[in-house]
Amino acid sequence: MRDGNHNPAACVWGWLARRPGYMLLSAPDERLAAEPPERFRHAWIGLMAVSLLWGLVLLNLWGIAWKVFRDYDPLVMPAMVTAGLFCLWPFRRGIAALADLLAGRDATGRAVTAAALVLLVAFGLLGLKPDWDRWEHLPWWLTWLRPVLPLLRPQAKLYRVLVLMPLWGGWAMVIAVKFSRPTPRSEPQIAAFARGCGALVAAACMAVLLLVSIAYFCHLGTGSVVILCVVPILAAIAGGVGFCWRAGGPTRRALLSANVATQIAFLVTYLAGR
């Protein structure tokens, strides 16, 4: 007889909440510190998988918001709802960490900086425009393919940036530990994460991201695609080095800051080159 208290959704959520990749992004510091460091040696796998999951969640939330509110250019409500989830759940700690490193010890400055980052994300998403002139139709049961298979859904250019933003942010955390060695300020979990992120791992993740980015945004033209790929790479490396230096080493706060900064750089570059 099935236990009436058994909740499949709660079990799935509990399993996800214990994954090292998810914990790097969202777990409280105390919860992360209680975990055995060696669990995080290969956390880059879960980090990239969770980043892809968040991208798909943002995509579908945008679609749901559009169906509910039926906005037409500008897409205010889908942008605000998606920005709200982005800032309040998956990357809340990243925005707080970035504001902390940028503003320093000034509490007012941190609050203002965090608010500015939230507004930047919101206005960036508000700048997304659909390609109505090249709109094509798929059966409803295939519409979920639009960000994944561009050959089947070439007009869905509005959504691709939502899927790739978190992936570029996840890669920024991987590459950051290649340019900054762990120090006494680095959490043991982050030091273990750094040991598992070899040069081959960083290169392979970057290669996949480059291939997908080129395929997804080839309609922008060669020059724009090159810039769109180069800017997040430079932002991830420069941001990772700078934030790690400011934090005294590759700490969780520095890595999360590099994550969010790279995502914002990718979004702004896309809008500028569209």
pLDDT tens track of the chain, all 274 residues? 444 456 766 776 677 778 899 999 998 999 999 999 999 999 999 999 999 999 888 888 888 888 888 777 778 888 899 999 999 888 999 999 999 999 888 889 999 999 999 999 999 998 887 644 333 444 555 454 454 443 334 334 457 788 899 999 999 999 999 999 999 999 999 999 999 999 999 999 999 999 989 887 877 888 999 999 999 999 999 999 999 999 999 999 999 999 999 999 999 999 988 7
For residue 155, is it within any domain? Answer: yes
| Residue 14 forms part of a structural domain | no
The residue range of the domain holding 123 is 37-134+150-273
Q: Answer whether residue 180 is part of any domain.
A: yes
Classify residue 43: in a domain, yes or no. Answer: yes
In-domain check, residue 66? yes
Is residue 154 reached through a cis peptide bond, with omega within 30 degrees of 0 on the bond before it? no
Q: How far is CA 201 from the centre of its chain?
A: 18
Instruction: Tally the domains of the chain.
Output: 1
pTM of the model: 0.87
Residue 160 has phi, psi (to 5 degrees) of -65, -35
Q: Specify if 176 maps to a domain.
A: yes
Residue 36 neighbours by CB under 8 Å, 6+ apart: none
The 3-class SS string of the chain reads CCCCCCCHHHHHHHHHHCCHHHHHHHCCHHHHHCCCHHHHCCHHHHHHHHHHHHHHHHHHHHHHHHHHHCCCCCCHHHHHHHHHHHHHCCCHHHHHHHHHHHHCCCHHHHHHHHHHHHHHHHHHHHCCCCCHHHCCCCCHHHHHHCCCCCCCCCCCHHHHHHHHHHHHHHHHHHHHHHHCCCCCCCCHHHHHHHHHCCHHHHHHHHHHHHHHHHHHCHHHCHHHHHHHHHHHHHHHHHHHHHHHHHHCCCCHHHHHHHHHHHHHHHHHHHHHHC
Residue at 1 is within a domain: no
- Decide: helix, strand or coil at residue 256: helix
* Residue 144 included in any domain: no
